[in-house]
Copies of this chain bind each other. A is one copy, B any other.
Amino acid sequence: MTEPTSPDPRRAALMAAAEALFFERGFAATSIDAIIERAGGSKRTIYALFGSKEGLFEALIRENTEKMFGAPFFGAPSLGLEETLTGFATHLLELFTRERTIGLYRVVVAEARRMPELAASFHRLGPERGRDWIAGVLAAAAERGEIGPVDPHSAASQFLGLVRSDVYFEIVLGLRGPLGRTEIAQIADSAVATFLRGIQPRGRLRP
């Protein structure tokens, strides 16, 4: 549908201004005039490129989702399970607690009721890929006998929750600033440790 990269500088300026304003104020509270004031140029250009305010918003969400979540989860398959999970958890925390990602998430959640297909596309192009990748990692580990038999999908769901923990909830509400590297490493290590012990069948020990 849309070209992956467009070399149009007007388009890039509009996108940058739209990102700053939509992510800060939300969709309804951001006016076309404010976007133009920040990006320069003319309203005419927005309607020529995007058709409407909602069209600009949709393009912004889609492109940011793809940019942020574009193929970041395919770590080296040579690593052991624990290292793979820790690497994934670290990456997830770094990504999800970034100011940009929080802004994107907030605005998608805010409009999820009025633009359901936009929220679905955000999830499909973004978080769902990480969840599926982790489910694959767990399925392979279970097949190799590294962990006990699990339902990969629900185990991945638990792992994601464990990594986000309550910390992500608080960050989304604006109660915490972004995490430092030390904090991220600590949360990731602790989540992986809890998870690996947690999914072992009752009464079994890790080797």
**Residue of A113, A122, A161, A163 with highest tally of chain B CB at under 10 A:** A161
A200 at the interface (CB under 8 A from B): yes
A95 at the interface (CB under 8 A from B): no
Q: Are A166 and B131 in contact (CB under 8 A)?
A: yes
A44 at the interface (CB under 8 A from B): no
A202 to B206, CA, bound (A): 8
**How many identical chains are in the complex?**
2
Knowing A158-B162, A165-B160 are in contact, say whether A110-B194 is a contact too (CB < 8 A): no
- SS class, residues of chain A in contact with chain B: helix
A122 to B119, CA, bound (A): 24
A107 at the interface (CB under 8 A from B): yes
Chain A 130-164 residues near chain B, CB threshold 8 A:
131, 154, 156-158, 160-164
A109 to B169, CA, bound (A): 10
